Each structure stands twice: as structure tokens, then as C-alpha cells.
Amino acid sequence: MNTILKKTNWRITAFVAALVLCNAAPSARGQNSPEGTWDFVLSGNQRGVAQITFLPDHTLTGAEIITVKQSSNRTNSVNDDPRGGFGGESRTPSTGGGSSSSVTNFYGKANLAGSWTFDAARRVIGVITESGGANSITNGISFKASVRPNTRMTMTGIRKGRRISYTGVPLIALPDFSGEYYGQGKAAGRAFTELFTLVPAGGLGNPDLLPPGFVNGYDITGLGAAYSTFGAVIISARNQMALVTLSNENTNGVLRSVAGSFRLSKGTGSLKGVVENGDGGENVSLRVTKQNAPAD
């Protein structure tokens, strides 16, 4: 089986990022403490939805579904195949011959762990690792954040010199979006239709998806033309959705990760991202509609 986390880069490179977390010595608390659970939307080169809990002991934990923002509908080479997030095997990264300055971008679902503290100017700083699960490679991010407690957090992450923007609000539980949906999409210009069902996180009993009780998180099962899918969804109160699925279109599965706007009042979304193909990854768009939802 395939993991639910992959990475892709615009130019092939032999880059694997690993980060050993340091537990920075905590400074005195200030009014800008990030403690609590935050609902983040990612923008920039990486897009998606994340939930991160900042703990009093200056550690953090969370989960995200992320995808890649592409500027054109071209195939992108996948440098390696970090399987493990779906309980699968592990493959050795390939040794591409491209520039060592290439930036590697993950897509799929990742677990988050890390540490945070205050710098000398009382700004929140820290480090995060992204991991696809057992036997998966990891990716490292350094960040700094501006916090308005109980109101808003803006965070800038740096991965291999590339900027990722996070904007967050305190996590709240949204209405239940479980139910039947249909999706109409295009991958490299080829149209497709899927039917799928959302159930609360943990409903499929798959430990590699979101854990039971994950707020605003769902397991997903679906059917396409001669294939089936399963995966995970995170919905943000900021009218965003991120969706990752793994299909049985081939032996190892085909991974797709998309994110974008989602109208909470209508149950409709317009998502974009990346899907695997035989040579790497390609652009994909997906419009999702909740059946029996209020009409526009």
C-alpha cells in the first residue's frame, strides 16, 4: 500500500530532510503565548489545512493535509516514494541528478511534532517535523509566529529556504459534514467523476488516518470509474477544505491531495492540487458537492 504522504520537486534532486527536535529552554510566559489548539490554513508554495496544539511544556503536536501549488499543468518528477503512512513498505530515495538547490515539497497527510519557545524579543519561534508515519521520511520546518491570544496567529515557516504561510484561529467544532458527496474534476485536462462518503474521523478504523475524535476531521471512502478510494478530510472554520485519497488504480495505489475553498453554508468546494501519475505528479482540480445540501 501507498503512504498518504509524498514529496515532489520541480527539479529532481537527491534531498531528504530530517530534523532532530530540540527542547528549547522556555522563557518567562508572556501575553503572546500560543498555548491551545489552532485551526490553520496554509498558503504559498504549500497549501492545505492543519491543526496544531501548542502545549504548556513548549512542545507541539498536530496533523495536516497539504498539497502543492503549481504554476502550470506540467508533470513534476517525484524524487522518492516515502511509503509508510498507510502501513506500507519503505523505498530507498532515488538519486536524481538535478540542482542541489531544488526545493522539495510534500503532499498528502502528515503528523506534526515539534517544540516552541520565545526569542529575546518575546516572539514565538520553534521547529516542526512533518512525518508520513512509520518508516516514512521526515521533513523539517523552522517557524516564527505572531500571536493575538484567543484571536489569531500568523506563522511563517521556512523549509529548505522556501516560505510557507500559516494563518490560524482558535479551533472550534463545526457542524457535522458527514454524508454523501460527488466530485467532478480534471487531471491534466482529463475529466472524471467520483462519488464519496464522509464519516467522522476514526470511522474507518484505520490508524493511519486521522484519530477518532479529531475535530472537523473525516474519513472518506469513494468510487470512481473502475476504482475505489479512501482517505481523510480536514475542514477549516475559515471556509477551507483539504482532502487526500489513495485509490486502487494500480498495485501501489495512486495518491491525490487537494485543498481550497469550501462554503460551509452550502457544502460545496473548489479544490486544487496534485495527483500521482506514472512519471511523477500532475495538476488536478476537484469540485465537491454535498448531496441534499442547500442550493445556491
- Residue 240: domain span: 179-290
Q: Is residue 150 a part of any domain in this protein?
A: yes
The answer on pLDDT for 263 being more than 80 is yes
Compute φ and ψ for 68, nearest 5 degrees.
Answer: -115, 135
The answer on pLDDT for 73 being more than 90 is no
**To the nearest whole percent, how much of the chain has pLDDT over 90?**
58
My answer on whether 17 and 137 are in the same domain is: yes
Q: Is residue 257 a part of any domain in this protein?
A: yes
Banded pLDDT at 155 (limits 50, 70, 90): very high
My answer on whether 23 and 131 are in the same domain is: yes
The answer on pLDDT for 118 being more than 50 is yes
Q: Is residue 161 a part of any domain in this protein?
A: yes
Question: Per mean pLDDT, which of 34-43, 126-135, 270-279 is the most reliable?
Answer: 34-43
Q: Within the chain, what is the greatest distance between any pair of CA atoms? A: 58
CB 87 within 8 A of CB 202: no
pLDDT of residue 76: 43
Q: Is residue 95 a part of any domain in this protein?
A: yes
Per-residue exposure over 120-144, b if at least 16 CB sit within 10 Å of its own CB, e if not: eeeebbbbbbbbbbebbbbbbbebe
pLDDT of residue 197: 98
Q: How many Cα atoms are found within 13 Å in the side-chain-facing hemisphere of 57? A: 7
Q: Whole-model pTM? A: 0.82
My answer on whether 77 and 222 are in the same domain is: no
| Alpha carbon distance 2, 89 (integer Å) | 8
My answer on whether 77 and 214 are in the same domain is: no
CB 78 within 8 A of CB 105: no
| Alpha carbon distance 45, 54 (integer Å) | 24
Q: Report pLDDT digits (tens) over 230-247.
A: 999 999 999 999 999 999
Q: How many helices (H) and strands (E) does the chain have?
A: 0, 17
CB 41 within 8 A of CB 240: yes
My answer on whether 198 and 164 are in the same domain is: no
My answer on whether 201 and 65 are in the same domain is: no
**To the nearest whole percent, how much of the chain has pLDDT over 70?**
73
Tally of domains in the chain: 2
Banded pLDDT at 294 (limits 50, 70, 90): low
My answer on whether 152 and 30 are in the same domain is: yes
Nearest CA-CA partner of 65 in 85, 79, 83, 90:
85
Integer angstrom CA distances of residue 99 from 15, 158, 220: 10, 19, 38
Nearest CA-CA partner of 163 in 50, 69, 261:
69
Banded pLDDT at 72 (limits 50, 70, 90): low
Q: Is residue 90 a part of any domain in this protein?
A: yes
Amino acid at 195: L
CB 247 within 8 A of CB 259: no
Report which secondary-structure segment, H or E, holds 285: strand 280-290
Q: How is residue 121 written as a grid cell?
A: 524579543
Per-residue exposure over 14-47, b if at least 16 CB sit within 10 Å of its own CB, e if not: ebebebeeeeeeeeeeeeeebbbbbbbbbbebbb
The answer on pLDDT for 148 being more than 90 is yes
pLDDT of residue 14: 28
pLDDT of residue 230: 96
pLDDT of residue 296: 53
My answer on whether 190 and 270 are in the same domain is: yes
My answer on whether 242 and 131 are in the same domain is: no
Banded pLDDT at 295 (limits 50, 70, 90): low
Q: Is residue 296 a part of any domain in this protein?
A: no
Map grid coordinates 530507498 to a residue.
Answer: 92
Map grid coordinates 484519530 to a residue.
Answer: 211
Q: Which of 136, 170, 204 marks a domain boundary?
A: 170
| Alpha carbon distance 180, 220 (integer Å) | 10
Q: Which of 115, 147, 170 marks a domain boundary?
A: 170
pLDDT of residue 83: 30
Banded pLDDT at 195 (limits 50, 70, 90): very high
Q: How is residue 193 written as a grid cell?
A: 467523476
pLDDT of residue 205: 92
My answer on whether 282 and 218 are in the same domain is: yes
Q: Is residue 295 a part of any domain in this protein?
A: no
CATH code: domain of residue 212: 2.40.128.120
Q: Is residue 221 a part of any domain in this protein?
A: yes
My answer on whether 149 and 243 are in the same domain is: no
The answer on pLDDT for 134 being more than 70 is no
Q: Report which DSSP code applies to 76.
A: B
Report which secondary-structure segment, H or E, holds 125: strand 124-131
The answer on pLDDT for 279 being more than 70 is no
Q: Which of 124, 149, 170 marks a domain boundary?
A: 170
User: Which segment of 88-97, 108-117, 212-221 scores lowest on mean pLDDT?
Assistant: 88-97
Q: Report pLDDT digits (tens) over 13-22.
A: 222 333 333 4
| Alpha carbon distance 99, 77 (integer Å) | 13
pLDDT of residue 99: 42
My answer on whether 105 and 251 are in the same domain is: no
